[in-house]
Structure formats: structure tokens, C-alpha cells
Structure 1
Amino acid sequence: MKNVWRKIFLSCSLVGMLTAVDAQQANTTQQEKFNEFTDRQGSPYRTAMGTPGPQYWQNGADYAMEVELDEDEHTLAGTVTITYHNNSPMDLDFVWLHLEQNRFKEDSRGTLTTPIQGNRYSGDTDGGFEIQNVSARVGRRGAASNRYLIDDTRMQVFLEEPISANGGQATISMDFKFKIPVQGMDRMGRLEVEDGVIYALAQWYPKVAVFDDVTGWNVEPYLGAGEFYLGYGDFDYKVTVPYDHIVVGSGALQNTNQVVPRELQNRLSRAADSDSTVYIISPDEVGNTSLTRPRQDGKVTWHFKINNSRDVAFASSKAFIWDAAKINLPSGKKIIAQSAYPKESDGEDAWSRSTEYSKASIEHYSEKWYEYPYPAAVNVAADIGGMEYPGLNFCGYESTGESLWGVTDHEFGHNWFPMIVGTNERRYAWMDEGFNTFINHYSTLDFNEGEYSSTLNQTRRFTNWLTSKDREGIDTYPDVANTRNLGMIAYMKPAMGLIMLREYILGEERFDNAFKSYIKTWAFKHPQPNDFFNHMENVAGENLSWFWNGWFYGTENIDLAINGVYPYGPGNYVVAISNRGDIPMPVLMEITFDDGSKERKTLPVEIWQRGDSWNHMIQTDKKITSIQIDPDRVLPDINSSNDRWPSDLYNNED
């Protein structure tokens, strides 16, 4: 009995001592950090499991377009016919469209909200759409309407009768023309090189806005940082250009025999069966129209198709070197990677590796996450830092080496987010840029067994920004965010969050199961943030409200600490730990013993539900010499000096 009372006394004394270590924190409850932070209940349209509901719907549009490029006037002009499918449960009296070339007008909202000193999203201001001959009708026999309203980058087309719910169709057609800007907001435009002009054409046609079950019509203006939110459909487009131009575009070329000479057709066939890059037009052949063009004057029309896509882009120039190689997909299907670039971009450490990079990128993502759905993957050198469209990128023509790999891999990664998983980039840039930055990390580690490095897992490099008074939350809309913060809140911080989920919180297997399921479930659909949160939780089997709330919907930080380690009788040690930050986290500890052996223990996040201090008992017949929290440094812990005991073991490597 005497020994029992002695143990009780020692225990009470120890608890009192450990409590005194951090009395203020121990009296603080953190329960609210585990509460649901938003209404994530299901509906007939979107379930609480994060899947499309039994009544989920989305509208779509098919496009038929014919345009002509005038290289003397630098204009693009043509016609578009849109077949709109109303699958919603509501009749629609009108349709909203985006006219994104109107951003390049002097009085556009985007121009007027650009700082005087400019920024990445500055652009020409002497452009904009000329729209004529608008006609809209419901069904095949409905009365035609020519009533429309244009406001900035939006166009509202009115109908003589509603488009009926649950499958009604309308046809909208018009002529359009615009001057191709030189500076196209780092997304499109034109570049003059020695052998001609490279025309990078994007946002080049009137396109239907998304009508969904969350917002109705999504009609946010095109300002700059916010990108795009588009529906899916089939595209059939024809591009007429001068005879000496090469055109590459989203989708598959339909009339190769008419626009590509036989010798180049033979090279394309070889490339389609080659794992190594094959020149279609070599650097020495640029400008040799007798070899590279099927005719020697006039105009040539290139015809492309792509199905179940949300957009199309293309490039045209007489200055292109053109090469290609085979892409091997997991299903056994073979498609083609292509690169088009001028002599200024050529070189063994430059764009001559573009197709190699493209092939590796597409093959990696297809194997690891979801198979690439399009018939080609095209990388185009332009005066654009990097911009993605379905099946086609524009990347900086001066990029070389690791920089070219990085931008090529990043832009092709966007085929998964937001091209396959159709998120709303204009509102939720993190579901696009952040998810893509995350998958880029593993693609880079995989490429050529680590030829290039990724720094995404070096999360503690970013603690200065994470503690800055000017930081903003991931959930800040891109057009509202301080442009100096956009790289962090749209790209790096959400990607770091997924790294933490995969490598620290859930583990690779649980995370990969959930993330692959999310991609497959929402492929060619429109998930919202809550759909992602719900789906990851349901498939991984973990309530993660505490994480979403702190990391994705706040500006809080992580700071786990070891307050002390105390002997407690033979073979027993008590580790006193605290959560000094505002985001609770599981605690992974690596324990080192005097014989040099190590052991890892993980304490679940639930230890923080009642407060921010916790004592953990370690029983061992060895002497503990040190303990380290987060030994792999996965967490962006803002104070590395308190992660280790004894504290004098802390050194500059943190």
C-alpha cells in the first residue's frame, strides 16, 4: 500500500510540473478547430460523399468554327456556330457567353483595374471583338432571334422562346473578328522572330459561360489573374492561313493529306511509332517551302477536331521547327507528342528536348493518376511564360534546361486540373494551380530518375511568407488577391497541403486511393471545393475538417513543440508536447536511443481536441538521447527550434 501511494504522489507531482510548463496553453481549448467549418451536407445534385448526386446535371456546348488569319493586318476573323444543350431542370430564356478578347480594350474592366505600373496580366488595349450577324434559335424550327447585349467580356444572347429543361437545344451563330494582340496577358498573342511571326491563339472565339447548380450563370468578368470556367463539348474547327504556315492545335488534324506534303507525312508516321524525337521540319528546313508546304501560293485550311473538351487553342507560323514522338498510354493506346518552335529556341539544352519532356510528362500522369484523353499533346514556343489549353501549351521560347522541363511539365499537368477535372479557375485557382503543382512534384522526381530537382517538399523555406502580416488565405479569389501573394495562395500553399496529407497525415496509400478516386469521379464534370473535401474524407476514411479549416480556409500556422522529456521511474519517460500554432496536427516523433537505434511513434490529431498540451508516456529498457518531431520535415512548422529535445541538438540544417 505504501508503494502505491508513493506512485500516486509521484504521478501527481509530475502532472503538476508538466502543467506548469505551459499553464496558459493547457487551459486553452481547441475544440472549435475540429468543428465543421462550412455546410458540407449533400443534395440531390452533390452528395455528402463528394460524388455527383442522382440528379446531378451539367450543360454543354458543341462548336463548329471557321476562321482565317490575316498576317498583314494581324487579325483573325470567322464564324462560330454553337449548339447548346440544356440538361438543367430549368427552362432558359437566354444564354451568357464570354468574349474574352474584349479584355484588350482601353475601357475594359480588366484594363481599368490594372495598376499603372502594370503586372503580369497587362495586355494590349487596341483590340476587342467585332461581332456581327448574330442569330439564335431553339431547336431546328424555332424563330430566329438577333437580340443580344454585350457588357465588357460578357455577351447575353436572348431567345424567342425558352430552351426547354432536361435536354432542350439551341443554336447560336455569329461572325467575329479581332486584332491579335502582341501582349496577350501572358496567355496568347504574337511573337516576331527571324523567320516570321508566331501567332499563339487562345480566347479566340465566343464561348458559352457555365450554368450550374451552385451559382446559376457564372459570369465573372475576365480581369486578369482569374482564368477560366468552361463546359464540355465537341469542337470542329478550321483555320485558314497563308500557304507557308504550319498550324498546330488542340485535337487531331483531320486533313493531313491536304496540308502536309507526303515526305512530312512519312516523318509523322515514323514519329508516331518512335520513342525518340523525330524531326517533321528540321532547323535547316525552315523556310524551304518546296519541301515543307503542299502548295506555293495562296491560302491553306487546316482542320482539327477534339471531343469532350472545354476549350481549344492553336498556333500558326512559317517559322516553326516541328518535331514529334510517340506517347505510350497505360491502356496500350498510342498518341503523339509534338513541339513547334523557332530557330531562336533550338538547342540540345533547349527546345530540342521539348518533345522528350512532353512525352515523359503525359506518360507519368497517365500512369499515376488518370489516362490522358486527347489524341495529341502539343508544346508551342511563344512569348508566353506558360499557359495551358486542352492538348496544347504555350511556353516561353527562351526557356532552357530545368526551366523548360518545369514549365512544360506544369502546363501539361493542367490537362488533369482543370481540363479533365473541370474546376472553376476564375474563383478557385487553388483547385487548378495548387493541385497541378502538387502532381508536378512527383513527375519531376520521376523524370530521368531525378535529373531535375523539386523543392516542394522543402516546406520550411516558406515560413517567412507564412508568418508575414500581408499573407492571404488560399480561398482568396485570384482577381482579389494581392498579386505578390498569388504564387503562394494559388500554387505553393495548396500543393504543400496535399504533400502534408499524402506524406504526413494520411500516408501514400490512403491518399492515392482517395485522390485517384476524386479525379475519376469528377472527370469531365464540375466539382466545387466541398466536393473535394467530402470525397477525400469519405474515401480516405478520415474527418479532416481541422485541416481544411486551418490550412485552406485561414492564415493560421503549424508550430508543434517539445516542452521537455522527464524520467518517470525505471524504463519510463514522459514527453511533454504542445501545439503552439493554430492548426492541430498529428505528432510524428523519432526517438533516438543511446545504442544508436531509432523508433518512430505517431500520436493522433485527437490529442489536441481538449487543449493544446499533451503528455505521452514512453516505456523502454533503453536510454533516450533525443526526440525529434517531424523528422522528415514535411510540415512547414514555423519554429523548428522547438521541434527537438534536447534543444541544444538544434542546428542550422533546420
Structure 2
Amino acid sequence: MKAIALSLAGALALATTLAAAADAPRYDPLQTFAPYSYPDPVNAYRVGDGKPGPLFWQNRADYAIEATLDPAHRLLTGHETITYTNHSPNALDVLWLQLDQNRYKPDARGAFTSEFPTEFTSGYHIASVEVEDGSGHRQPVKWVVSDTRMQLRLPEAVKAKGGGVRVQIAWSFTVPGEFGGRMDVNHSKNGDIFEIAQWYPRLCVYDDLRGWDTAPYLNSEFYLEYGDFDYKVTVPSDMIVAGSGELVNPQDVLTGTQIKRLDEARHSDRTVMIRTPAEVTEPSSRPRQGGTLTWHFRMQNTRDVAFGASRAFVWDAARINLPHGKTALAMSVYPVESAGDAAWGRATEYLKASTEYFSKEWFPYPWPVAINEAGTAGGMEYPGITFDAKRAKGKSLHMVIAHEIGHSWFPMIVGSNERRHAWMDEGFNTFVDVGEDDAFNHGEYAPKRDSEYAPKGGNPADEIAAVLADPDAPAPLNGADMTPEKYRHPISYFKGAFGLVLLREQILGPERFDDAFRKYIATWAYHHPSPSDFFRFMESESGEDLGWFWRGWYQHNWQFDMAVRKVEAIDGDWSQGAAVTVANLDRLVLPDTLRVTYDDGTTKDIRVPVETWQQHRDYVVRVAGSRRVVSASLDPTHALPEADRTNDTLRVK
């Protein structure tokens, strides 16, 4: 019996020890508030306040492209002239280009990383590569292709600080079919729809962070230089082409009626039909029958262009009203199957409203045209044009249009590196498009809480807490291509957006956040900010040391768990006030709200700042008052990603 008693005592002691260990704080102030090491150092190119420095430079790539689409054979053939300007302090003896179409070859690296089915092609066929000297003389260049990159070994290095070179490339490729990717050809009853993107060899970025940034195209998106584009697309005469930028030869490719309707749309807040559903099958809706027509577009200060082409397009347009009295043109092209006010008949309305909202709130839309194109690429963005799902309707259509055109700001205007830092475009864009959804048509489709913002629906703070609790979830600073598909949306989109929500609503407040974020966009427009630039900029402009937040939210996937431990009267007398002991149990810290409730039902809120935890794991908050406290609660509005809400409230017996 004695031995059994000792065993029971030992078991009870062990159980008590395990329970205490389970409830023991994992929080270490020296870890959370250690000096933060930014991923990139300060230097003369990028300075301590997160802005371009006195020696900042950025190279430039201007393109002149002529391409011909053979829809019968799904063949795109082209020739391009790239005028490359080297503003760097280094002479460049090679150039690197992206060959994204090689991603669809069976032996491509991306074929072994994607969870999506892919229709394989033979990738690019490079017919010739030549460079021009100052007198216009051309000579062949030796090139080496490695997966989705091509290195050009120049006969003479491009001089530093303003030197230039002109490269001529002839190429062709077969357009991939429907595969759930970023471009395709898909069927409609009046003809195939071609969504053409990543279609010409594009210069890789050479910058002060890595030199040549040659991350292969696996599945993550893009990092491109800015420049001016002049491009021509030749197609059969019965096809309509919708392309990034402005159509500069409407008289050659449109009917007189269509030109007149476009002019009407430029002055109309209501959608104007340029080509009606009934006109799609009418030969008179094209300026001539047989042969081909060449569509000529120009776009300035952009990092890319894309286009859609089909004989099946219905086409409508309306004016976009921009700040300072400026305007642009919103346009949508879609098959007749997608027409109607329940579906794409409102697409231009959605595009117009979202572009106006983002322009007013954050930064004016800079290009003359914004286009929705309906197909199966599903939801994909390029400068001035988005590829959206042709079967989408109502709320889902509005959501995808607002999100994809929102990418005009991140990363088309603020040119972050999507291939490495997806949270800087997907997360930032999700943050701003949630606001647009709330604002559209007096909240017609609000709130946006069930897809991009909170994947499972419900309270966003509780949803992100579930992501933080997953031990396998990577941190946002994890490389985009290293983030498994399971976590791509929860981390890059959802956590990236919710980080800005916390900054705005809980840490800085709207007044300081909005001003700093607008200045960040304006400062880095048409440039390439890094995560360090964003972190430093927001700190400097807001006046806060935020290293603890960058570390906990972006560098790690730390959890947040605060608890109320004890509530008692000061010196045993409620008339002297209450002493509430709160504790920080996990590694993430955030400012919190403590709410005490008195016996008459009244409440008092006390803000508990993050500085509370610089030297403490638990802290006694003294709350002035003269009535008996019946309960104390943390985060009463459930705005924070609490790991365990059961310890947030303590009722006084």
C-alpha cells in the first residue's frame, strides 16, 4: 500500500509538472526584441530610411516587337529589338534574358515542381540573335540556353553609367493549351480565345542586390526592368486584339462605327458597347474580309505587355475618372457565352470602379487603358490587362477583377520581385482590394472575407491564427518558389495582407499608416524595392521601431498568445482600483486591449503596448476605478490572431 501511495504521489507530481510546462510561457524578451538584422544592408544605393540612395541606379530595357499569330497552328512568330541601357557602375560583358516559354518543355525544371497539369510544348525556337554597334552594323552573338534563361556573350561589354546595346532576336513558339497556368488558348462557340503572355524573350534584372537576378521560371511570377514598348501583332482580319497600352492605329483595324463608339466611351461613365454580342458573327464588324490585319500598340514606362486575341470577342468600354481631372479607358472583351448583366456585362463597371478606387486611395493609375480579357487563365495580371475567368459571375467576377487590376499597383507600378517575395505583391494587393470590395457600389459585394482574405470564412484574426499554429507553415520571407502550394495562398496572400491590417489598425493607426504607405508607393513607383526597403521606409515614416514585428510576422511564423492571470482589488479594496496580471505566453508580441467590466455593467479599456514585454513575461496592470470588477478580458473585439482565446478572459468570483 505504501508503494502504491508513493506511485500515486509521483504520478500526481508528474501530472502537475507537465501541466505547468504546457502552460509555461515560450516567450523570451531577449529573442523577440533582439536587434533586428535587415535582409539587405544600408549603402549608398539604398539608405537607412528605406528610400533610394544618392547613388541609386536602375537599368532600362525598351522593346520594339513585331509578332504574327497563326491561330490554325497555334504558332506565334516574332522579332524584337531590345534597346538596353546600363546605368550600373559596372561594365556588362553578358546579358541574361528570360525564356519563359521553355517552362512548358517536358524537361523544364518547373515541370518537376508544379502540382498543376501542364500541356508540354517544345518551348522557344530561337532563330537568330544579333547585336548592333553605334553605326547600325549587326553581328551574331553566341548564346547559351539554360532552362528558362539565355545568356548572351557580347562581343564588346556594355559600358557602365549610361552605356547601351541594341539586341535583335528572332523567335517562335507553340502557344500552350488549357492547363491552368498564366497563358493559354481556349475554346468558345464563336472561335478560340488566345491569351498571350510571357511571349517574347525579356531582359532579366541586373540590380545592386544580386547583379543578374536569374531565378528560373518555375511557377512563381516575375521580376522585370522598366521601359517603353512599341509592339505590333498581326492576326487574321476577323480577330480582335486587346493589348496592353494604347491602340495607335484604330483606323487600320476597326470599323468607323467602332471608332465612333470608342470615342463615346471615353466620355461616358456608363458602359458603351463597341462590338455587341449580335455583331460578333457579322462580317460587317470587321473592316475587311480575308487576309490579315496588324494591330499596333504602345505603352510607356512599363515592365511588360500582354494581349488577348479572338474572333469571338464582345467588346465594351467606359471612362475611368482619375485624380487631377485625368481620365483613362476601361475595356472588357469576352465571348457571347459570358455576356449579360449577371456576368461579364458588368465587367467594365467593376474595372472602372476598382481602378478609380485604387487611384484615389493610393496612387493614380498611370496608363491610358485598363483591360479585362475573359478566358481560362483564371486570374492573371499584366500591365494594363488582366486575364479573368470567363465563367465568373457577380461577386466572384467583381472579386477577381478588382484583385487582378489591383496588381497594377503591386507589382506593376511598385516593381517588387515577385519571383522571390510573393507577399510584397499578392499580400499588398489583397490588402488594398479588400478595401475596394467594401467600397464598391455601397457594399454590394462586401465584405470580402470568404476567399482571398479569410480562406475558411469567419473572423480573419481567428483564420490567420490557425495558419500560425501550423508547424509546417513557412514564413513570408521564405522564397516564393520554396513555398508549397498548400501554403501559397495562406502565407503570400492572407498573411501578407493581414500583416498590413495589423500595422494599420493595431500598431500604427490609420493616420500614420496611410500616409507612410502612400509615400512608399510614390517613392518606389517604377523602381525595385526590397523587403528591407519596405521595412525601413515604414519605420522611418511612422516613427516606430518595428523590428520585433518584422521578425515575428515576416521572418518567422510565430504565434501570439496573451492571457489574463489574476484580477484582484488593490490593497483588498475595490475603491482603490484593480490589479490585473496579464502574461505573454508565446513569441509574437502585439499591442493589446485589456477590458475590465464592473458590477454595474460598465467597462473600461486600457491599451497594453508592446513595450510592456521588453522586460517582462507577465505584468500587473493597475486600473483606476471605484467599483468591483467582475471580469477582465484581452482583445475583446477579436482583432488579434490569438492562439488560445480560452485564457483571454478571467471572471472574478
Q: How does 1:49-60 map to 2 (within 5 A)?
A: 49-60=49-60
**Any conservation in 1 of the 2:25–2:585 contact (CA below 8 Å)?**
no
Q: For residue 619 of structure 2, what is the aligned residue in structure 1?
A: 614
Contact 2:28 2:587 in 1 (8 A): no
1:642 maps to amino acid: N
TM-score (structure 1 length as normaliser) = 0.92
What is the RMSD computed on CA atoms of the aligned residues?
1.8
User: Following superposition of structure 1 onto structure 2, how do residues 119-158 of structure 1 map, counting pairs within 5 Å?
Assistant: 119-120=115-116, 122-140=117-135, 144-158=139-153
Q: Which residue, out of 261, 280, 284, partners 1:286?
A: 280
2:603 aligned partner: 598
State the alpha-carbon separation in 2 of the partners of residues 135 and 167 from structure 1: 21
Instruction: Show the counterpart of 2:111.
Output: 111
1:595-627 deviation digits (Å, cap 9, x = unpaired):
444332212101101122111100113343333
Offset, 1:142: 6.7
Once the two structures are TM-superposed, the CA of residue 331 in structure 1 deviates from its matched residue by 1.7
Work out which of the residue numbers 405, 409, 412 in structure 1 matches 2:398: 405
In the alignment, the residues of structure 2 paired with residue 27 and residue 65 of structure 1 have an alpha-carbon distance, to the nearest angstrom, of: 58
Runs of 5+ unmatched residues, structure 2 = 1-19, 454-458
Identity across matched positions, percent = 43
User: How many angstroms apart in 2 are the aligned matches of 1:264 and 1:481?
Assistant: 46
Q: Equivalent of 1:219, from 214, 230, 238?
A: 214
Alpha-carbon separation, structure 2, partners of 1:313 and 1:28: 49
2:151 equivalent to 1:188: no
Give the whole-Å Cα distance in 2 for the aligned partners of 1:279 and 1:254: 20
Aligned residue for 1:554?
Answer: 556
**Tell me, what secondary structure is at the counterpart of 2:139?**
coil
Structure 1 range deviating more: 345-354 or 131-140 = 131-140
**Cα displacement (A) at 1:442:** 0.8
Q: Secondary structure at the match of 1:490?
A: helix
The whole-number CA distance in structure 2 between the counterparts of 1:270 and 1:397 is 26
SS in 2 for 1:144: strand
Q: AA paired with 2:256?
A: R
Distance 1:138 1:31, change over 3 A: farther
Q: What is aligned with 2:505? A: 503
For 1:47, the equivalent position in structure 2 comes to 47
Q: Deviations over 1:76-101 (max 9, x none)?
A: 10100000000000000011000100
Match of 1:460, SS?
A: helix
* Aligned-residue offset at 1:158: 1.6
- The counterpart of 1:310, out of the listed 303, 325, 330, is 303
Hey, what does 2:240 align to over in structure 1?
246
Distance 2:606 2:214 in 1: 51
- Count the aligned residue pairs: 621
Report the AA paired with residue 83 of structure 2: T
Aligned to 1:3: none
Q: Residue 267 of structure 1 is aligned with which of 261, 269, 273? A: 261
Matched, 1:86 2:86: yes
User: Helix, strand or coil for the counterpart of 1:509?
Assistant: helix
1:515 match = 517
CA distance in 2, matches of 1:370, 1:571: 52
Question: Is 1:36 aligned to 2:44, yes or no?
Answer: no
The match for 1:576 among 575, 578, 581 is 581
Deviation at 1:413, TM superposition (A): 0.6
Answer with 29-38 or 313-322: which moved more.
Answer: 29-38
Counterpart in the other structure of 1:16? none
- In structure 2, what is the equivalent of residue 542 of structure 1? 544
The structure-2 alpha-carbon separation of the partners of 1:100 and 1:29, relative to structure 1 and needing over 3 Å to count, comes to closer
CA distance in 2, matches of 1:219, 1:167: 22
* Aligned residues of 2:567 and 2:652 also touching (Cα < 8 A): no
- 1:6 paired residue number: none
Partner of 2:647: 642
Cα drift, residue 44 of structure 1? 0.2
Q: Secondary structure at the match of 1:193?
A: coil
Offset of residue 629 of structure 1: 1.8
Which residue identity does 2:128 align to in structure 1? N
Structure 1 residue 591: deviation in Å?
3.2
CA contact (8 A) 2:141 2:155 kept: no
State the SS of the aligned residue for 1:303: strand
Instruction: Letter of the 1:171 partner, please give it.
Output: R
The Cα of 1:272 is off from its aligned counterpart by: 1.1
CA change 1:143–1:68 in 2 (3 A) is closer
Q: 1:167 aligns with which of 162, 165, 184?
A: 162
How far apart, in 1, do the equivalents of 2:103 and 2:69 lie?
Answer: 20
Separation (CA, whole Å) in 2 of partners of 1:295 and 1:339: 23
Residue of structure 1 equivalent to 2:494: 492
Cα distance in 2 for residues equivalent to 1:156 and 1:133 = 13
TM-score by length of 2: 0.92
**1-structure distance, mates of 2:561, 2:399:** 31
Choose from 270, 274, 284 the match for 1:276.
270
**TM-fit CA distance, 1:285:** 1.2
CA distance in 2, matches of 1:89, 1:141: 25
From 228, 246, 252, give the equivalent of 1:234.
228
Q: Deviations over 1:400-450 (max 9, x none)?
A: 111111111110110010000000001000111111111111111111121
What is the correspondence of 1:340-351 to structure 2 with a 5 Å cutoff? 340-351=333-344
Judging changes above 3 Å, is the alpha-carbon distance between structure 1 residues 454 and 623 closer, same or farther for their aligned structure 2 residues? Answer: farther
Matched, 1:631 2:636: yes
State the distance in 2 between where 1:112 and 1:416 align: 32
Residue number in structure 2 paired with 1:368: 361
Of stretches 141-150 and 417-426 in structure 1, the one that deviates more from structure 2 is 141-150
Which among 349, 356, 363 is matched to residue 349 of structure 2?
356
Deviation at 1:353, TM superposition (A): 1.0
